[in-house]
C-alpha cells in the first residue's frame, strides 16, 4: 500500500497538472507566462491571435477540453471578449481567465459578463 502511494505521487509529479491554452499575441508575455506555468508542471500551448485561439479552444487538447484558458482582451483577428462569448454560446464551459492591460472597472465587468471566470490585469 505504501509503495503504491509513493508510485502514484511520483506519477502525478511527472505529468502536467493542467492543460492550459494561452491566447496572447505578445511574444514576450506569452513566453513569460508559459515559462512560469511550465515550471509548475503545467502544459501550456500558445495561440497568437483570437481566431487561432477560438479554433484551438473549441478543438480541445488530446480529445478533451482544456483545463483552463488564459485570454488577452486585445487580440488581432478576434478580440478576447468575442472569443469567450463565442465559446460560451457554443456551450463550452472550461474556465476562462482574462489576463490583460485593460484594468478599469468597466473593463473588468465587461470581461466577467462576457463569460470570464476571473480577470487579472497585467503589471
Fold of 18-121: Rossmann fold (3.40.50)
Per-residue model confidence as pLDDT tens for the chain (123 residues): 444 444 444 455 566 599 999 999 999 999 999 999 999 999 999 999 999 999 999 999 999 999 999 999 999 999 999 999 999 999 999 999 999 999 999 999 999 999 999 999 998
Q: What is the DSSP string of 24-71?
A: -S-HHHHHHHHHHHHHTT-EEEEESSHHHHHHHHHH-BTTB--SEEEE
3-state helix, strand, coil in the chain (%, to 5): 45, 20, 35
Amino acid at each position: 500500500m505504501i509503495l503504491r502511494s509513493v508510485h502514484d505521487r511520483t506519477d502525478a509529479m511527472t505529468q502536467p497538472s493542467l492543460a492550459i491554452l494561452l491566447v496572447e499575441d505578445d511574444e514576450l508575455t506569452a513566453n513569460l507566462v508559459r515559462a512560469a506555468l511550465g515550471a509548475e508542471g503545467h502544459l501550456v500551448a500558445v495561440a497568437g491571435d483570437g481566431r487561432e485561439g477560438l479554433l484551438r479552444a473549441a478543438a480541445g487538447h488530446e480529445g478533451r477540453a482544456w483545463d483552463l484558458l488564459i485570454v488577452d482582451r486585445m487580440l488581432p483577428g478576434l478580440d478576447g471578449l468575442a472569443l469567450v462569448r463565442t465559446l460560451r454560446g457554443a456551450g463550452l464551459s472550461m474556465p476562462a481567465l482574462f489576463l490583460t492591460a485593460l484594468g478599469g472597472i468597466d473593463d473588468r465587468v465587461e470581461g466577467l459578463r462576457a463569460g470570464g471566470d476571473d480577470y487579472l490585469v497585467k503589471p
